[in-house]
């Protein structure tokens, strides 16, 4: 059987999509190649969020064409995911050696398409169409193949985003918000737990919007349409879950959003130890979600809450839908509910029109909130997004300089916050050997900090207590305190 090598760029959603694609291929008898040098099929799962990410994948494909294609003329080459979605046929026009371009709603077609390409029945395939029900097709996992058991897993709960932030290409690459049903997600989670998974991260581009636009559902028995696509049964509505989170004034307020109902349902799964999710949006971050942290012991004390800017003027230009005060208010409430909560964020520097004063407000927000970690992005113009056309684009050099200044502040704060753990006892979920030093093991605290310690394979998957002895850059070092093998 053919072997396939998949290289993934970008976010956790992309990692998850690649895993599902690999699992679907393995289920059909494909093997996973250890490197592109020996693969019959090479797929690049791409990211479009910044130009840099696109260039990386394109350059990689150029190199693959030069090396692999020359050595093995029959090798099948494909782009999948976000850049495939936004560029489509253009990618083959530019790189005629590419055989397959597969959009974000078509991952589940990969087996059929590769079979056709490998058999020579078709020469090129570009499929970037929308497909109803595709949100429910990212569900296969590659667990326990021949490697040690997986402790953590990602579960995709929804696809797409309707927020239309002015800088962001995601609504165009991932499409409209579509959510899987609660039973569908819970079934997948249950299965993972029965296979030994202890921690699940629920994934979506904007999880706070989960279920707000209804639920689509794929019916695997649905007839194929004339174009050969499965016809999803859209709009199987669960009325109870569609109640708006906020009703008009005077009416009784619905207390729980669909997302919190999903958290409740996943929390019920016996044997599951920890729940995480990413990414929420501050606009939809209701009190019900804050209260869930206090109420649900398996929901660990970590919130990744992208802020993007500390300036209200810039937040408005970005179409974020909240103010700095609202953001800070959410963080305050989260810290009231869970004082040890780890807070991470995404920040963009050099958004069009961002002045020195606006940027200083971002610096002051970073100091005010004291993030444990922040991912800083230099603004990148994306095709078809409103911000790309805005006046006062910030010169590249200033974007670089602001990136550097913010990084210094973020690192200084993180250093302080990580150092504060030294001497404390904390609970880890042990994930596996450290990448840097396989003789040591790594685990993650509930607040999402990586801890490296002297341990062995037998600790994998265990919750254990360690004493933190040292803090490094975004890493803690620990000594097993009580080998509390719960």
Does 167 help bind ligand 5AD (rule: CB under 6 A)? yes
Does 380 help bind ligand 5AD (rule: CB under 6 A)? yes
Nearest distance in Å: CB 57, ligand 5AD: 16
Strand partners, 201: 154, 276
| Listed residue (105, 149, 99) closest to 131, CA to CA | 105
- The interface region with ligand 5AD, picked from 364-372, 375-383, 408-416, 425-433 by CB under 6 A, is 375-383
Interface pick for ligand 5AD out of 5, 377, 418, 477 (rule CB under 6 A): 377
| Listed residue (7, 17, 301) closest to 154, CA to CA | 17
Number of neighbours of residue 391 by Cβ within 10 angstroms: 6
| Listed residue (230, 273, 279) closest to 130, CA to CA | 230
Structure tokens at 336: 């009231």
Rounded Cα–Cα distance for residues 323 and 238 (Å):
33
Over the window 288 to 327, marking each residue x when it contacts ligand 5AD by CB under 6 A and - when it does not, the resulting string is ------------------x-x-------------------
Does 9 help bind ligand 5AD (rule: CB under 6 A)? no
Measured N-to-C along each axis, helices 287-295 and 258-267 cross at an angle, to the nearest 10 degrees, of 10
Between 382 and 460, CB nearer to ligand 5AD: 382
Nearest distance in Å: CB 394, ligand 5AD: 11
Does 346 help bind ligand 5AD (rule: CB under 6 A)? yes
Contact 91, 83 (CB under 8 A): yes
Nearest distance in Å: CB 287, ligand 5AD: 23
User: By CB under 6 A, how many residues form the interface with ligand 5AD?
Assistant: 12
Contact 351, 394 (CB under 8 A): yes
Nearest distance in Å: CB 17, ligand 5AD: 15
Nearest distance in Å: CB 307, ligand 5AD: 9
Interface pick for ligand 5AD out of 6, 168, 245, 428 (rule CB under 6 A): 168
Nearest distance in Å: CB 356, ligand 5AD: 19
Over the window 74 to 103, marking each residue x when it contacts ligand 5AD by CB under 6 A and - when it does not, the resulting string is ------------------------------
Between 86 and 380, CB nearer to ligand 5AD: 380
Structure tokens at 296: 């649900």
Secondary structure class of 326 (helix, strand, coil): helix
- Ranges within 44-63 binding ligand 5AD (CB under 6 A): 49-50
Does 348 help bind ligand 5AD (rule: CB under 6 A)? yes
Does 285 help bind ligand 5AD (rule: CB under 6 A)? no
In this structure, which long-range contacts are made by residues 364-370, counting pairs with CB atoms below 8 Å and at least 24 apart in sequence?
364/310, 365/307, 365/309, 365/310, 365/324, 365/327, 365/328, 366/310, 366/406, 366/409, 366/410, 366/413, 367/409, 367/413, 368/328, 369/307, 369/328, 369/331, 369/343, 369/345, 370/343, 370/413, 370/416, 370/417
Between 230 and 399, CB nearer to ligand 5AD: 399
| Stretch (H or E) spanning 476 | strand 475-482
Does 174 help bind ligand 5AD (rule: CB under 6 A)? no
Distance between first and last Cα of the chain: 43
Does 286 help bind ligand 5AD (rule: CB under 6 A)? no
Does 399 help bind ligand 5AD (rule: CB under 6 A)? no
| Stretch (H or E) spanning 258 | helix 258-267
- The interface region with ligand 5AD, picked from 84-92, 155-163, 376-384, 415-423 by CB under 6 A, is 376-384
Site residues (vs ligand 5AD, CB under 6 A): 49-50, 167-168, 306, 308, 346, 348, 377, 379-380, 382
């Amino acid at each position: 059987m053919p072997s396939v090598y998949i290289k993934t760029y970008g976010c956790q959603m992309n990692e998850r999509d690649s895993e599902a694609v690999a699992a679907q291929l393995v289920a059909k008898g494909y093997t996973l190649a250890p490197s592109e040098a020996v693969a019959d099929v090479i797929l690049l799962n791409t990211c479009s969020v910044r130009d840099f990410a696109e260039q990386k994948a394109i350059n990689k494909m150029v190199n693959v064409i030069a090396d692999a294609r020359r050595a093995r003329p029959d090798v099948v080459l494909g782009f999948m995911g976000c850049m495939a979605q936004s560029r489509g046929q253009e990618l083959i026009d530019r790189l005629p050696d590419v055989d397959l371009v597969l959009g974000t709603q078509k991952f589940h077609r990969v087996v059929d398409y590769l079979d056709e390409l490998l058999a020579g029945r078709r020469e090129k395939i570009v499929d970037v169409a929308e497909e109803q029900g595709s949100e429910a097709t990212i569900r296969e996992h590659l667990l326990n193949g021949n490697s040690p058991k997986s402790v953590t897993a990602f579960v995709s709960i929804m696809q797409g985003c309707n927020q239309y932030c002015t800088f962001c290409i995601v609504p165009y690459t991932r499409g409209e918000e579509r959510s899987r049903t609660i039973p569908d997600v819970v079934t997948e989670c249950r299965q993972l737990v029965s296979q030994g998974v202890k921690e699940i991260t629920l994934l979506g581009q904007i999880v706070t919007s989960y279920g707000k636009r209804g639920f689509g559902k794929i019916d695997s028995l649905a007839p194929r349409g004339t174009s050969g696509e499965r016809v999803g049964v859209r709009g199987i509505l669960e009325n109870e879950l569609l109640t708006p989170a906020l009703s008009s004034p005077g009416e009784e307020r619905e207390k729980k959003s669909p997302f919190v109902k999903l958290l409740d349902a996943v929390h019920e799964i016996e044997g599951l130890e920890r729940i995480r999710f990413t990414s929420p949006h501050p606009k939809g971050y209701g009190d019900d979600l804050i209260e869930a942290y206090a109420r649900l012991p398996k929901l660990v004390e970590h919130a990744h809450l992208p802020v993007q800017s500390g300036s209200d003027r810039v937040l408005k230009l970005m179409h974020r839908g909240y103010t700095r005060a609202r953001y800070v208010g959410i963080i305050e409430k989260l810290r009231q509910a869970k004082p040890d909560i780890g807070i991470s964020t995404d920040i963009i520097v050099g958004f069009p029109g961002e002045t020195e004063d606006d940027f200083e407000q971002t610096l002051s927000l970073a100091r005010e909130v004291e993030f444990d970690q922040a991912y800083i992005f230099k603004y990148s113009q994306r095709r078809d997004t409103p911000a790309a056309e805005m006046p006062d684009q910030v010169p590249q050099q200033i974007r670089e300089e602001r990136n550097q200044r913010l990084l210094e502040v973020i690192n200084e704060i993180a250093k302080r916050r990580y150092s504060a753990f030294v001497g404390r006892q904390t609970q880890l979920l042990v994930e596996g050997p450290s990448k840097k030093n396989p003789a040591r093991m790594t685990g993650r605290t509930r607040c999402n900090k990586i801890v490296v310690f002297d341990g062995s394979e037998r600790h994998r998957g265990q919750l254990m207590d360690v004493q933190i002895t040292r803090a490094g850059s975004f890493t803690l070092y620990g000594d097993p305190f009580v080998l509390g093998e719960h």
